């Protein structure tokens, strides 16, 4: 039996089917929790819950049910920015990714660093401004299109294309500064290492 797509579940949820809502939330819960746990791990659980609660209230604004996932991450981004604005000076910063080569390798978010270059990529990602970091995470880790990322960031798709290009360039420059070998700095290699961070061993 084929699994219902997001758009179908949204339609059933709008029709009053609580089971459809629960299925949607279960499908996307781990990804949303990872979104927060790699940035603000102490608040990740609460922010994940707040995101899904806000989603219930904001669902009537979703004009395109097939864009539910991008809509959900847009809500998550808003919750993150609200948290960062309200946090004290010491807490209003994105947390470093909690992984080191040669160690257990698994963070609360499931990110795995299995190679020194992956560790350098993680360190480089930490230095990016929040929306550039989110754009790369959505592109590489969630396999979102520019149109979907535009929904998350609330900008035109053309702006996303520009930001992704800028983010890749800054990522490559920072990885180089951290000492990565030249052969690892091509766009295809950086993409491979970045995508592999959230793939199972």
Q: What is the mean pLDDT of residues 8-33?
A: 94
pLDDT at 181: 79
Residue 175: alpha-carbon gap to chain centroid: 20
Output the furthest CA–CA distance in the chain (Å, rounded): 55
Cα torsion 115, 118, 119, 120: sign: positive
All domains of the chain in start order, with CATH: 1-95 (1.10.1740.10), 96-201 (1.10.10.10)
Q: What is the pLDDT of residues 160-186, one digit of tens each?
A: 999 999 999 999 999 889 888 777 778
What's the whole-model pTM score?
Answer: 0.84
Tokens of 2: 């084929």
């Amino acid at each position: 039996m084929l699994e219902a797509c997001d758009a179908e579940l949204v339609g059933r949820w709008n029709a009053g089917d609580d089971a459809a809502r629960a299925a949607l939330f279960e499908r996307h819960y781990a990804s949303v929790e990872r979104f927060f746990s790699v940035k603000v791990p102490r608040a990740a659980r609460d922010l994940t819950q707040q995101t899904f609660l806000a989603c219930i209230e904001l669902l009537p604004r979703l004009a395109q049910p097939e864009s539910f996932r991008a809509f959900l991450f847009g809500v998550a981004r808003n919750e993150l920015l609200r948290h960062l604005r309200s946090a004290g000076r010491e807490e209003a910063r994105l947390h470093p990714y909690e992984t080191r080569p040669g160690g257990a390798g698994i963070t609360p978010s499931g990110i795995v660093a299995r190679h020194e270059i992956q560790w350098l990529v993680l360190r480089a990602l930490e230095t990016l401004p929040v929306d550039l970091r989110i754009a790369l995470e959505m592109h590489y880790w969630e396999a979102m299109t520019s149109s979907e990322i535009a929904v998350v960031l609330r900008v035109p798709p053309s702006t996303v294309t520009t930001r992704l290009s800028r983010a890749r360039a800054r990522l490559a420059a920072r990885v180089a500064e951290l000492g990565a070998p030249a052969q690892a700095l091509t766009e295809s290699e950086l993409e491979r290492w970045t995508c592999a961070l959230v793939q199972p061993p």
